[in-house]
Amino acid sequence: SQKIEQNSEALNIQEGKTATLTCNYTNYSPAYLQWYRQDPGRGPVFLLLIRENEKEKRKERLKVTFDTTLKQSLFHITASQPADSATYLCALLLTGGGNKLTFGTGTQLKVEL
Amino acid sequence: NAGVTQTPKFQVLKTGQSMTLQCAQDMNHEYMSWYRQDPGMGLRLIHYSVGAGITDQGEVPNGYNVSRSTTEDFPLRLLSAAPSQTSVYFCASSQRDRVKYGYTFGSGTRLTVV
């Protein structure tokens, strides 16, 4: 069966450190992988997209890697701040699947002072 | 720009009642979709539309209807509410051929069926 797995346990890190979140998938061949941020009581907000032929993408303090051999994406936040505390969702968009995104369950990140 | 607007924000229904969740976007996005979000289940696609007059089923369509008569609006109808439909519902839109911009989500409707 098709699965997208994100660590369900919350990730607690200290301010200033790099947070690394993992997204693993099975039985998918995604054309794109996207990362979203979701705050409590709010809708997800799009952060970054990476294509299947890209290894790495950066945007300010964010970095995403995409390894289609390992079927894994890593999401890094460098110099983390308490304001980065949120749930982060990865989502796969399949080739030929229109714009249908399939989401993982998300990982909660807590950045402590 | 208002983005994606969902109404109502909260709703309590009795089992068997019907209602419509409203979704409107002002970005001229062709693609619109409805998701539900439940604890431990993530976001699951209910229905989607690639343009006015075109709709299709997602992963969990049973008990829900949609229509898309205009580019701006994509209402979700619950035909006969059941407690299993208690959830948070999100509407999202995107530009169909420009996925690099991601989806824009509304702020959600929290529905409780008693």
Tens-digit pLDDT profile for residues B87-103: 999 999 998 765 667 89
Q: How many CB pairs under 8 A join A and B?
A: 65
Minimal Cα distance from A51: which residue of B?
B100
Instruction: Give per-residue pLDDT as tens, A81-101.
Output: 999 999 999 999 876 666 688
- Chosen for mutation from B7, B95, B99 (greatest number of chain A CBs closer than 10 Å) is B99
Contact A46, A96 (CB under 8 A): no
Listing DSSP states for B50-110 in one string gives EETTEEEE-SS-TTEEE--SSSSB--EEESS--GGG-EEEEEEEE-TT-GGG--EE---EE
Output the pLDDT for position A104: 94
What is the C-alpha separation between B51 and B65, in angstroms, rounded?
16
Q: Residue range B59-85: average pLDDT?
A: 97
Q: Which portions of chain A are predicted below pLDDT 50?
A: none
Chain A residues whose CB is inside 8 A of the B43 CB are 44, 89, 91, 103
Mean per-residue pLDDT over chain A, rounded: 92
